[in-house]
């Protein structure tokens, strides 16, 4: 079993915030396994997880001075990774049907559409990782059920069960208006 490393300590974080180059390097290196773990649990695909983790570490490197409390590093990084995973999922969720009457959409319709897309993205992000992966691979990326099952090492029945639970959970939030 892999060794579980602790987050970099408050002294390293404080030194990094003050611009200490060695502390910044130690901070990014020490946060890397945790950020990757967050990304793998939140993103739909391993590729998105890797990209989100890399982007989060770049943000850490560039903006460590903006972190208000040295003890808040883990929660700050979790939010960054979550936002990156959501950002990567959103383009596929922006399917905009053409208006039936040929008229352009009103500003109100546009705003409502964006709010709905945001609610869907939040609902997907709130799903358990196993359901989120199946839903995104099947419904967002458009992969076949067999391909999704194979890539995730599942039987087709298990994949269908997870997909059904994920769709029902997203529908409950977006159609039912629950939060």
Least confident residue range of 40-54, 72-86, 90-104, 147-161? 90-104
Phi, psi of 148 (to 5 degrees): -60, -50
pLDDT at position 159: 93
Closest CA to 52 of 17, 10, 27, 88: 88
pLDDT at position 118: 66
pTM of the complete model: 0.50
Other beta carbons within 10 angstroms of residue 30's beta carbon come to: 18
At 161, is the pLDDT very low, low, confident or very high (cuts 50, 70, 90)? very high
Q: Are 16 and 69 in contact (CB under 8 A)?
A: no
Share of the chain above pLDDT 70, in %: 76
Task: Give the span between the Cα atoms of 40 and 56, in whole angstroms.
Answer: 13
Whether residue 156 is predicted with pLDDT greater than 90 in this model: the reply is yes
Phi, psi of 24 (to 5 degrees): -65, -45
Task: Give the span between the Cα atoms of 114 and 126, in whole angstroms.
Answer: 18
Mean pLDDT of the 131-138 span: 85
More confident residue, 10 or 158: 158
Residue with tokens 């945001």, as numbered in its chain: 118
> pLDDT tens, 16-61?
888 888 988 898 888 899 888 888 877 878 888 899 899 999 988 8
Tell me how far apart the terminal alpha carbons of the chain are, to the nearest angstrom.
37
At 99, is the pLDDT very low, low, confident or very high (cuts 50, 70, 90)? low
Axis-axis angle for helices 46-63, 73-93 (nearest 10): 130
């Amino acid at each position: 079993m892999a060794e579980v490393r602790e987050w970099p300590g408050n002294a390293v974080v404080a030194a990094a915030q003050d611009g200490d180059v060695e502390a910044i390097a130690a901070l990014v290196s020490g946060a890397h396994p945790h950020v990757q773990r967050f990304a793998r649990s939140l993103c739909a695909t391993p590729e998105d997880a890797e990209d989100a983790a890399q982007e989060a570490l770049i943000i850490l490197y560039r903006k460590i001075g903006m972190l208000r409390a040295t003890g808040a590093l883990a929660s700050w990084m979790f939010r960054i990774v979550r936002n990156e995973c959501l950002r990567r999922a959103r383009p596929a969720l922006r399917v905009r049907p053409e208006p039936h009457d040929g008229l352009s959409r009103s500003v109100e319709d546009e705003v409502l559409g964006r709010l709905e897309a945001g609610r869907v993205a939040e609902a997907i992000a709130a799903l358990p990782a196993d359901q989120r992966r199946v839903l995104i691979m099947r419904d967002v990326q458009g992969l076949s059920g067999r391909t999704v099952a194979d890539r995730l090492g599942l039987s087709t029945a298990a994949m269908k069960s997870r997909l059904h639970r994920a769709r029902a959970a997203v529908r409950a939030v977006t159609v039912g208006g629950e939060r």
